[in-house]
Structures are given as structure tokens and as C-alpha cells.
């Protein structure tokens, strides 16, 4: 008798559970998809991450003692992550900033040690520029990275071959406002937002005051367009071509 009684009760409980789940799902589907802000915070974050467009903010040069700290404050306030392509020689003078980049969840990658045009130096010098920067980053972040951005975007067959032999991955860009020139905050802002696209890589320069002043407005505009900010490695996991660029400078 007990066996005959247990089976129907089990089926009844299962049916009730499925019914409750169906009702909950319908409620979430009808209300939350129309208004994702009605979802609980953790679910909303996952929903927005899945449905949003990806964009990588990258910053070349530095680190700079004052400006890099200001930049970190902006990123923290906006709750986004970025990738810093640092010059090794400058990083060796401010190693605490490399540690800060890493501890705050940002990615640190190489931009050579002394910022030379790598197409105009020897293969030995290329290797030294790449390896010395990588070792420095590893020392102060605990992470070994083979991502790097060649200064000026200068790249040729010799550099391609040595990168392939040593395992380095060159990272270029798809959105470049030329903020290294003497242009206004508004020009920087307009050049980014007018050219932004999903899976894009924005190149900016961390040592420019106008760049930092334009940054909050840029971030807020992209957030309104449902962009989700990721690091280069996070973009890389999607199989995005990271060796794209619009032009050198």
C-alpha cells in the first residue's frame, strides 16, 4: 500500500513544482524582458551581459603617477574594466600602479620597454623590448601576458615572424580618435561614439588630460547604447580578430 500511495504523491509534488516554475518563468518572461530593471540585481547583471554588445577600452603608454590614478578612479566609478598597454620603462618607475591596475581587475599588457618603432630595430632588440616588459608585468601583477601593442601600430614581416616564434599576440584597434594629438574633449568624444561598433577595440592614451576628461561622457554614451566593457582577453575568448586596425599614427 505504501508503494502505491508514494508514487501518486511524488507525481503530484512534481506536477506542482513544474506548475510553479512555469508561472514564475511566465512572470519573468513577460515583465522582465520588457523591463530588465525589474529583475533581481544578480540576474539583471547576467541578463545585461548576455544581451549587450562588447567593447574593449584600451589605454596606451604610461603609467603616469597622477593621471593613471585619476583614470583608475573614473573606471572604478563607472564600474568597468579596461586593458592597459604599458611602457616597461615607465612601469618600472611606478610599479605600484601596475599592482593597482591588476588588483582592480584591469588587464595589463605590453607596449614595449622604451617605445621604439619595432620595424626599425634589430631582431635582438625586438626580443629584448618584448621580453623585458613581459617579465616586469609578471613581477608586479603575478600574470604572464603575451599580449602587446607595437608602438605606432608599426608592424612588418620581421616583427610578425618573431612574435610567432616567441608566442606574442599583437593587438591593434578599430576605433581611434587620435587623442594623442592636440584635440578637444568634444572631438575625442565624438570620434569615439560615431565610430563605435560591437566587438570594437578603442585605443586611447592615458597621459592625455583631455582624454581623461572625455572618458566619463564616452563611457556613459556607450552604456546607453547597451555596450558592455570587457578586457582584451575577454574579447579574445569570443574569437574576435584582435589584429585589426584602421590606420597607424
Q: Tell me how far apart the alpha carbons of residues 85 and 107 are, in angstroms, rounded to a whole number.
A: 9
Please give the pLDDT value at position 55: 97
What is the residue whose three cell numbers read 574569437? 239
Please give the pLDDT value at position 182: 86
* Per annotation, catalytic residue among 106, 111, 205, 228: 205
Please confirm, yes or no, whether 60 is among the known catalytic residues.
yes
Could you tell me the maximum CA-CA distance found in the chain, to the nearest angstrom? 89
Task: Give the pLDDT band of residue 32 (cuts 50, 70, 90).
Answer: very low
- Beta carbons of 116 and 151 less than 8 angstroms apart: yes
Q: What ranges do the domains of the chain cover?
A: 2-47, 52-236
Q: Tell me how far apart the alpha carbons of residues 127 and 44 are, in angstroms, rounded to a whole number.
A: 45
- At 95-151, the pLDDT tens digits run 999 999 999 999 999 999 999 999 999 999 999 999 999 999 999 999 999 999 999
Which has the closest alpha carbon to 84: 127, 126, 145, 155? 145
pLDDT beyond 80 at 36: no
With 0.85 as the threshold, say if the pTM is over it: no
Please give the pLDDT value at position 33: 43
Please confirm, yes or no, whether 205 is among the known catalytic residues.
yes
* Per annotation, catalytic residue among 60, 61, 179, 228: 60
CATH 3.20.20.370 fits domain 52-236: yes
pLDDT beyond 80 at 78: yes
Please give the pLDDT value at position 140: 98
Per-residue pLDDT, averaged over 208-227, amounts to 98
Mean of pLDDT over the chain: 85
Amino acid at each position: 500500500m505504501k508503494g502505491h500511495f508514494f508514487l501518486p504523491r511524488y507525481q503530484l509534488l512534481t506536477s506542482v513544482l513544474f506548475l510553479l516554475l512555469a508561472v514564475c518563468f511566465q512572470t519573468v518572461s513577460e515583465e522582465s524582458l520588457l523591463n530588465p530593471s525589474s529583475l533581481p540585481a544578480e540576474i539583471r547583471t547576467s541578463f545585461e551581459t548576455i544581451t549587450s554588445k562588447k567593447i574593449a577600452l584600451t589605454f596606451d603608454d604610461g603609467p603616469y603617477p597622477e593621471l593613471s590614478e585619476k583614470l583608475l578612479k573614473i573606471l572604478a566609478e563607472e564600474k568597468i574594466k579596461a586593458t592597459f598597454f604599458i611602457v616597461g620603462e615607465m612601469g618600472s618607475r611606478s610599479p605600484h600602479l601596475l599592482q593597482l591596475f591588476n588588483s582592480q581587475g584591469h588587464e595589463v599588457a605590453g607596449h614595449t620597454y622604451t617605445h621604439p618603432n619595432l620595424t626599425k630595430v634589430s631582431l635582438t632588440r625586438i626580443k629584448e623590448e618584448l621580453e623585458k616588459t613581459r617579465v616586469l608585468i609578471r613581477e608586479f601583477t603575478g600574470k604572464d601576458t603575451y599580449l602587446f601593442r607595437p608602438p605606432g601600430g608599426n608592424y612588418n614581416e620581421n616583427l610578425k615572424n618573431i612574435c610567432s616564434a616567441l608566442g606574442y599576440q599583437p593587438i591593434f584597434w578599430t576605433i581611434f580618435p587620435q587623442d594623442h594629438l592636440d584635440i578637444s574633449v568634444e572631438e575625442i568624444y565624438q570620434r569615439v561614439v560615431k565610430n563605435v561598433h560591437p566587438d570594437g577595440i578603442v585605443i586611447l592614451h592615458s597621459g592625455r588630460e583631455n582624454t581623461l576628461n572625455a572618458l566619463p561622457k564616452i563611457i556613459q554614451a556607450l552604456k546607453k547604447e547597451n555596450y558592455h566593457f570587457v578586457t582584451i582577453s575577454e574579447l579574445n575568448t569570443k574569437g574576435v580578430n584582435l589584429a585589426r586596425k584602421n590606420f597607424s599614427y
